[in-house]
Amino acid sequence: MTVMGLVVIAGVLAAVISCAAFLVWFERRLLAFFQERYGPNRVGPFGVFQVVADIIKLFFKEDWVPPFSDRAVFVIAPVFVVASVLMSFAVISFAPGICAADLDVGLLFFLAMSSLGVYSIVLGGWASNNKYSLLGALRGAAQMITYEVFMGISLMGVVIMADSFNLKKIVEAQEHLWFCVPQFLGFAIFFIAGVAEARRIPFDLPEAESELVAGYHSEFSSMKFGMFFLGEYLGVTLISSLIVVFFFGGWLGPAFLPPIAWFLIKTFFFIIVFILMRGSLPRPRYDQLMGYGWKVLLPLALLNLFVTGAVVLVWQN
Amino acid sequence: MSDYNLSLFYLLIYSTTVVILVAGMIILSYLLGGRHREPATGEPYESGILSTGSARLRFSAQFYVIAMFFVIFDLETVFLVSWAISVRETGWGGFAVILVFLAFLLSVLVYEWRIGAFDYAVSGREILKSIRKAKGI
Amino acid sequence: MDIMFFITSGVAVFATLMVITRLNAVHALLYLIVSLLSVAVVFFIMGAPFAAALEVIIYAGAIMVLFIFVIMMLNLGREAVKSEREMLTLRVWLAPSALVVILLGQFIYILYERSGSPLTASVVEAKEVGVSLFSTYLLGVELSGLLLIAGIIGAYHLGHTARKAYHRFLEGGSE
C-alpha cells in the first residue's frame, strides 16, 4: 500500500465526478450551438458556473420522499445509479500508472457493474409507486438487459485479440494497430449498446418525456433527482472512456502530448458524438428498439466473435 | 502484500469511498432541503390528473419472457467469455467446441425469430396487407 | 486477508438471514443481492476473480433481475405482506431450522477436523478456467448448451399467451 495509490483513487473520483458535472453545462452549450441558440451563458465566463449554481439549487430543494412510496427502496435507488457507474471507473487505465485498481478481470468487472445498473431503474420505478414510473422502469429494464447481452459479446473480439481482460494490457496490445480497425463491427455494436445502457437519445425510451413524464424518476426531487442526472452523465463519460480504452488505443498517441492528454482528447471526442446524437436523432419505437437488438445486433456480435477467433487461430499457426 | 491482494485492497478502498460519497450526497441534501406541507403535497404526479386506483399494476407475461431470454443468453455469454480468453491455448479443438455451441445458440435464435418471439408489436406489413384486403386492392 | 474474509462472510450470513425474515418480497430481494455480492467478494479474496465476476454477472445481474421482474409482474402489495406474516410462524420454520442446524454442526466438525486455511490457495486465472472448459470438459459445455436451448424454448412457450392485435385494421374485418 502506497500513498500514491490513495492519491490516484482520490484523483480519479474527483476528476470523474467533476467531468460529469461539467458535462451538464457542456451539453447544454453544445446543443444550443447546434440549434443556433445561446444556451446558459450568464453565470461566470461562458456560463461555466451554471453547474455550480445548479448543484447548489439541487441541494437546497426539498428532499421529498413520497408518502405513498416504499421509503427505504426509494432512497436506495439513486444510490445504486451513481455507485454502479462510479465503481466501473476503478478498473480504467487513464494513463500508465493511473488506475485506481488494476484488476486482471477488469473488463468483466465493468460488465458486472453495468449489470447492477439495471436495479437503479427497476427499484426507482417500483418504489415511486407511480404509474408512469413503473411503466418507465419496466421499459428501461427490458431495454437495458437486452442490450447488455450484446455489450458483453461485442467486447469478446477485443479480448481474443488482446488475450486478456486487463484494461491496461488491452491498451498495450493496441500499440501497433488500434482495435477500431480489425474490430470495427465490435466497436459499432459496443457503441450502440453503450448508448442504450446509458439511456441516452435515441435510446432514452424509459424517460421519454412526451409519453411518460420523466419515466422512472418522475417522483424524485432534490439531490435524489440530481443523482439520476449525475448517473446519466457519468454513464456517458464511462462509455466514452471505455470506447477509447477498448478500440482507440487508450492513452497511446504521438509523444508530443502526455498520455493522459491523449486519453482526455479521445474521450471528449466521443462525449461530443454522444451530444451530437442527442441533437440530431429521433427516438425509435419500443418494439423497433427491442427487435433491432435481438434480430440484428446479436447475430452480428456472434459473427464478429466467431470470425475474430478464426482469424487469430489462422494467424497463430 | 502480493500484487493481487494489493489491487483487491485498492478496490475495497475505492468502493468504500464511493459509498461514503454517495451517502454524503443523500444526507447533505436531506439536511439542507426545505420542508413544506400543503394539501396536494403528498399526491402522486400524473400530469395534473387525479390518480385513480393503485399504481401496483400487473404486467404482461411478455416482460417475463424478455427477462428469461436475457438470463439464458447471459449464461451463454459466460461460455463465450471463457472461450475468448483461452482461444490461443485451446486452438482448433476449442474452436470446434464453440462452433457446435454457437450452432445451438443460432438455431434457437432462428427458431424464436420464426415463431415471432422477437416481434413486440404488430408488424406494419401485416397491417398493410389487411388494409389492402379490406379495400380489395 | 483473513480478517476481510470473516467480515465479508459475516455480511453474507447476516444478509441471508434478513432475506428469510423480510416480509416484503422486494426488500428480501435487495438483501439477497447484498448476500450475493458479498459471496463474490469472498471468491475474490480466496483467489478466484473470474468466479467472482461471473457470480455478479449471472446471479446478481441476471437471475435476480428475473426475480424482480416476476415480483413486479405479480405486484402483490399489502396482501402478500400479510400472508407472509401469517406464514412465518414458529411452527413452520422450527423443523427446517433444526435440520439445518444438524447440517451446520457436521460442517463445522469437518472444517475443524481438516486443519489448514483454504485462503492460502493460489490465484486461479480466467485463462485456466477457459482451457479446462474447452479441452477437458467440452462435453459439459455442449450439454449445457443443449440445456439452455430447452430452457429458452420452454420459457417462451410457457410465458407466451396468444396476443390479441389491437389495431383497427386487424380486429376482424374492417369497413
CB A131 within 8 A of CB A191: no
C-alpha cell read off for B55: 399504481
Number of Cβ within 10 Å of residue B110's Cβ equals 11
Q: Which of C26, C50, C126 shows the shortest C-beta gap to A73?
A: C26
- The per-residue pLDDT for C171 is 59
Q: Which of C72, C170, C175 shows the shortest C-beta gap to B122?
A: C170
Summarize pLDDT for A203-255 with one digit per residue, the tens: 776 666 666 776 777 778 888 888 888 888 999 999 999 999 988 888 888 87
pLDDT confidence bin for C174, thresholds 50/70/90: very low
Architecture of domain C2-121: Up-down Bundle (1.20)
Nearest CA in chain A to B21: A83
> Which chain A residues have a beta carbon less than 8 Å from that of B121?
285-287
Cβ of C148 within 8 Å of Cβ of B72? The answer is yes
Summarize pLDDT for C36-91 with one digit per residue, the tens: 999 998 888 888 888 888 888 888 888 888 888 887 777 666 677 777 777 777 77
- The per-residue pLDDT for C124 is 77
Burial C37-52 (b: 16+ CB within 10 A, else e): bbbbbbbbbbbbbbbb
Cβ of C69 within 8 Å of Cβ of B64? The answer is yes
Of A248-262, B20-34, B114-128, the poorest mean pLDDT is in B114-128
Q: How far is C61 from chain A (nearest CA, A)?
A: 5
Number of Cβ within 10 Å of residue A165's Cβ equals 29
Which distant-in-sequence residues (6+ apart) come within 8 Å of A138 by Cβ?
A122, A125, B59, B63, C72
Q: Which of C73, C151, C153 shows the shortest C-beta gap to B59?
A: C73
Q: Which of A70, A73, A112 shows the shortest C-beta gap to C57?
A: A112
Chain A touching partners, 3 or more CB pairs below 8 A: B, C
CB A154 within 8 A of CB A193: yes
Cβ of B101 within 8 Å of Cβ of C70? The answer is no
- For the question of an ipTM over 0.95, the answer is no
Cβ of C53 within 8 Å of Cβ of A122? The answer is no
Summarize pLDDT for A165-209 with one digit per residue, the tens: 888 888 888 888 888 888 888 899 999 988 888 877 777 766 666
CB B119 within 8 A of CB B113: no
Most B CBs within 10 Å: which of C169, C171, C174, C175, as the mutation test of the B interface? C169
- The per-residue pLDDT for C119 is 60
Helix (H, G, I), strand (E, B) or coil at A95: strand
Most C CBs within 10 Å: which of A79, A109, A294, as the mutation test of the C interface? A109
Please identify, in words, the CATH class of the domain defined by B3-135.
mainly alpha
Cβ of B68 within 8 Å of Cβ of C141? The answer is no
Most B CBs within 10 Å: which of C134, C138, C167, C168, as the mutation test of the B interface? C134
Cβ of B56 within 8 Å of Cβ of C65? The answer is no
What are the distances in angstroms from CA A99 to CA A2, A6, B3? 13, 11, 14
Q: How far is A215 from chain B (nearest CA, A)?
A: 11
Q: How far is A186 from chain B (nearest CA, A)?
A: 14
| Amino acid symbol at B103 | A
What does the alpha-carbon distance between residue A299 and residue A282 come to, in Å, rounded to a whole number? 25
Does A40 sit behind a cis peptide bond, omega within 30 degrees of 0 on the bond before it? no
Summarize pLDDT for B79-122 with one digit per residue, the tens: 888 888 888 888 888 888 888 888 888 888 888 888 777 777 77
Q: What does pTM read for this prediction?
A: 0.87
> Which chain A residues have a beta carbon less than 8 Å from that of B109?
294, 298-299
What does the alpha-carbon distance between residue C155 and residue B73 come to, in Å, rounded to a whole number? 13
> Which chain C residues have a beta carbon less than 8 Å from that of B100?
142, 145
Summarize pLDDT for C94-120 with one digit per residue, the tens: 888 899 899 989 888 887 777 666 665
Summarize pLDDT for A114-169 with one digit per residue, the tens: 888 888 888 888 888 777 888 888 888 888 888 888 888 888 888 888 888 888 88
- A101 vs B14: which has the higher pLDDT: B14
What does the alpha-carbon distance between residue B50 and residue B57 come to, in Å, rounded to a whole number? 17
pLDDT for A70 beyond 90: no
Which distant-in-sequence residues (6+ apart) come within 8 Å of A119 by Cβ?
A77, A80, A84, C33, C64, C65, C68
Nearest CA in chain C to B89: C131
Among residues 98-137 of chain A, which lie with CB inside 8 Å of chain B? 100-104, 108, 115, 128-134
Q: Which of B17, B29, B88 shows the shortest C-beta gap to A63?
A: B29
Which distant-in-sequence residues (6+ apart) come within 8 Å of A159 by Cβ?
A107, A165, A170, B81, B84, B85
User: What φ, ψ does residue A65 adopt, rounded to 5°?
Assistant: -105, 115
